[in-house]
Amino acid sequence: MKKKDKKIDIAFYSKMYQLMYRSRKFEEIVMQLWHEGTIFGEMHMSVGEEAIHASIIKNLEDGDAIAVDHRGTAPFFMRGIDPISLLLEFIGHKDGLCSGQGGHMHLFSREHNMTSSGIVGATGSTAMGFALSHKYKNNKNIAVALFGEGAINQGMLLESFNMTSALELPVLFVCKDNNWAITTQSDSVTGGVLLDRAQGFGIAGEKINGLDFQESFSRIGYAIKTIRKTGKPYFIHATCVHREGHFLGDQLIALHRTTGKILGDLVGSLTKSLFKLKGGLVGERGESLGHILKIMTSSKHQLKSSVDPLVIAKKMLKNQGADVLSVEKKADQEIDQILKQTLQIIQGGNQL
Q: What is the pLDDT of residues 63-98, one digit of tens each?
A: 999 999 999 999 999 999 999 999 999 999 999 999
- pLDDT given for residue 267 in this prediction: 64
Residue 1 pLDDT > 50: no
Residue bearing the bigger pLDDT, 171 or 347: 171
- pLDDT given for residue 124 in this prediction: 98
Residue 260 pLDDT > 90: no
Least confident of 37-46, 156-165, 248-257: 248-257
Residue 352 pLDDT > 50: no
Nearest to 68 by CA among 136, 151, 4, 182: 151
Confidence band of 277 (pLDDT split at 50, 70, 90): low
Residue 263 pLDDT > 80: no
- pLDDT given for residue 184 in this prediction: 86
Could you give the CA distance from residue 152 to residue 140 in angstroms, rounded to a whole number?
Answer: 27
Residue 45 pLDDT > 50: yes
Q: Which amino acid is at 176?
A: K
Residue 236 pLDDT > 90: yes
Share of the chain above pLDDT 70, in %: 89
Least confident of 49-53, 56-60, 268-272: 268-272
**Exposure b/e, 252-285, CB count within 10 A at least 16 = b:** bbebeeeeeeeeeeeeeeeeeeeeeeeeeeeeeb
178-199 mean pLDDT: 92
Alpha helices per DSSP H over the chain: 10-36, 50-59, 73-78, 83-91, 122-137, 155-167, 194-200, 213-230, 251-256, 260-272, 282-299, 309-319, 324-347
Residue 264 pLDDT > 50: yes
Least confident of 171-185, 213-227, 229-243, 265-279: 265-279
pTM for this model (two decimals)? 0.90
179-193 mean pLDDT: 90
Residue 266 pLDDT > 70: no
Q: Which amino acid is at 111?
A: E
Mean pLDDT of the chain: 91
Confidence band of 3 (pLDDT split at 50, 70, 90): very low
End-to-end CA distance of the chain: 61
Nearest to 169 by CA among 196, 216, 202: 202
Confidence band of 250 (pLDDT split at 50, 70, 90): confident
Residues 6+ apart with CB under 8 A from 88: 95, 96, 97, 100, 342, 345, 346
What is the DSSP code string of 269-327?
HHHHGGG-SSSS-HHHHHHHHHHHHHHHHHHGGGG-GGG-HHHHHHHHHHHTT--HHHH
Q: What is the pLDDT of residues 207-220, one digit of tens each?
A: 999 999 999 999 99
User: How far are the Cα atoms of 3, 54, 72, 305 from residue 309, in angstroms, in the given order?
Assistant: 20, 11, 18, 9
166-180 mean pLDDT: 97
Confidence band of 301 (pLDDT split at 50, 70, 90): confident
Residue 296 pLDDT > 90: no
Confidence band of 141 (pLDDT split at 50, 70, 90): very high
35-53 mean pLDDT: 96
Share of the chain above pLDDT 90, in %: 77
- pLDDT given for residue 251 in this prediction: 76
Could you give the CA distance from residue 149 to residue 266 in angstroms, rounded to a whole number?
Answer: 30
